Amino acid sequence: MPLRAPASAKQDSSAVTTTTYKLQKLLAQKGLGSRREMETLIASGRVSINGRIAVLGDRVGTADRVQIDKRVIRFDLAERLPRVLLYHKPEGEIVSRNDPEGRPTVFDKLPHLRSSKWIAIGRLDFNTSGLLIFTTDGSLANRLMHPRFEVEREYAVRIIGELTAEQITQLTTGIQLEDGIASFSQLAEQGGEGINRWYRVILQEGRNREVRRMFESLGIMVSRLMRVRFGPINLPPRIKRGKWLELDEKEARRLLNLLS
């Protein structure tokens, strides 16, 4: 894929000083939350630009002073790559910072950040393992998660028994769930031993427990579920369960190029 020149490379030196950026995008890139959360924050009246209350649609440049409540937010408007972590989630961890039941959380395993926070790209339920992606960039998280981009999620699914041709047709043409119709864009048998059978499935959305609910709607219980790919990122075999790996600069830049 040919690399696209950054916008700054197409501007002369006089234009750079007047370049502005969407406020909610900069706040998200700062790691303060997703772009949607930043839009909600702006709409609440807690964000100001040069002493006036910000509104959705505002843009800011290098000379502007941005505050959330009384906290001054400083932006590095030079090109800076987001941090991206790949985490191999084991069963028995929850994708939440706080759990009333006191269960282990994936965030306990991640490196500490001082001025931003890790944003989970998608979720996995308590009993599902596999690839989780974390980033400090809310815009990148939005690009991978928003339904309109239809980013593929691929899972390895183990069931007891074997799917019939009719069930495969139902799963790939559409299953009626309580929150709408769901279907796999691809479903392939991967073999198995004894009464257990493995399948690879791909879908292009991330509704809560969607894979499990699709099989359960046909009376089939999923005994093992593992996400092996999210968009262009596969779960690297070298990442052991409960461990993480951070993308280096070359890998992060390649990811951004693939999504541009």
Report d(CA 154, CA 211) in Å as an integer.
Answer: 10
CA angle 199, 201, 205 (to 5 degrees): 155
Catalytic site positions: 125
**187 neighbors 195 (Cβ within 8 angstroms):** no
**Rounded Cα distance, 173 and 163, in Å:** 15
Q: Return d(Cα 79, Cα 221) in angstroms, integer.
A: 48
| Residue partners of 243: CB distance under 8 A and separation at least 6 | 87, 88, 109
Match 């006089």 to its residue by tokens. Answer: 14
Contacts of 90 (CB under 8 A, 6+ apart): 129, 241, 242
Give the 3-state secondary structure of residue 145.
helix
Neighbour-count burial for 107-118, b at 16+ CB within 10 Å, e otherwise: bebbeeeeebeb
Cα separation, 145 vs 148, whole angstroms: 9
192: region left, alpha or beta (phi > 0 left; psi from -120 to 50 alpha): left
**What letter represents residue 252's amino acid?**
A
